[in-house]
Structure 1
Amino acid sequence: MLKGEENRRFVRVLLDIPCKFSLQDNLKEKIEGKIIDLSISGISLETEKEISVGENLNFYLSLSEGLNCEFVGQITRKVKDNEYAIKIVEIKESARNKLGDFIINYLEEQNRIIKLFMQVKRSEK
């Protein structure tokens, strides 16, 4: 049986993106948090708000300029004091496509940066 990252079906990227979310029983209150990793199936969230495992949250993300995304996520586990693992349980297809495009573009940019770094390192030899 696979555990942790070995069990993941989708690519996950490490991030540091501010987000807002609300508890489904209080949609008016917008709570601030930070997404520390993202895939099209879930996120890791840091927040000062104490949240119960199993609770559903409405997320409002601005991934990049003009790229906004909303979805419902469910707390699957508490990782650390202020960190939660969240499974995306409700998302429009267009929003899932936006997440996928964002992840692909992010990985392509990281790959470009690594290639540039390697070119610089080779030229220093």
Structure 2
Amino acid sequence: MSAMVPLRAAAICSNLLFGTYGALDHIYPVLVLHVILLPVNIVRLIQVIVSDDDPATVAVSSITLTPLLGAMQWRQLKTWIAEWHRRAVERTELIKLCERDRRDIRISRADAQAEALKPFWRA
């Protein structure tokens, strides 16, 4: 048991760091992977700490994800991810517009660049 606690803690730290990296660099597969793995590693860490048995024999169903998620619903998370993806795509397309198209929608080059440089999570 004592060997698993630092390994799970390292896995949680790496999930946080790589998730942040994926978010900041717009590498969505990395972001999604570590967002999925983070609660798994947290649950397994809690199981190792709480259980007196061998960690390999602890049932995954003994601790569920529902209390760990709190108020956040999976549907809300799915909506957020879809919104973030939409923003990232729109901002990429906005920077590619020619001068004539930007004039049609009444956006200057500076405004288009400022909007395109905003992170996907910022409205």
> Normalization by structure 1: what TM-score?
0.31
Give 1 or 2: higher strand fraction.
1
Q: Highest Rg: 1 or 2?
A: 2
